[in-house]
Amino acid sequence: MKITVIFDEETVERKCIFNENNFIQGNNFGPGTIVLGLDGKVYENYGTEEKPFWEEVFDASYKITLNV
């Protein structure tokens, strides 16, 4: 199963597609890294790599699609 997340689909200059091709794996999550939580919510690191601060994305609309 693959997952696609589209941010700000209606705003062309801010549109961002997040999927298996641009997902960062491992423990090196710098500022601005976006991940999909196991709870189905999208989180962004607003902290640093050494001291991450994961916050649910609240300043962008997004749509999650499951590709089976």
Q: Kindly state the average pLDDT of the residues 20-45.
A: 76
Three-class DSSP category at 54: strand
Q: What is the pLDDT of residue 53?
A: 92
* Structure tokens that stand for 30 in this block: 């710098």
> 37 or 56, which is more confident?
56
Burial code of 26-47, b = ≥16 C-beta within 10 A, e = fewer? eeebeeebbbeeeeeebbbbee
Q: What is the pLDDT of residue 35?
A: 79
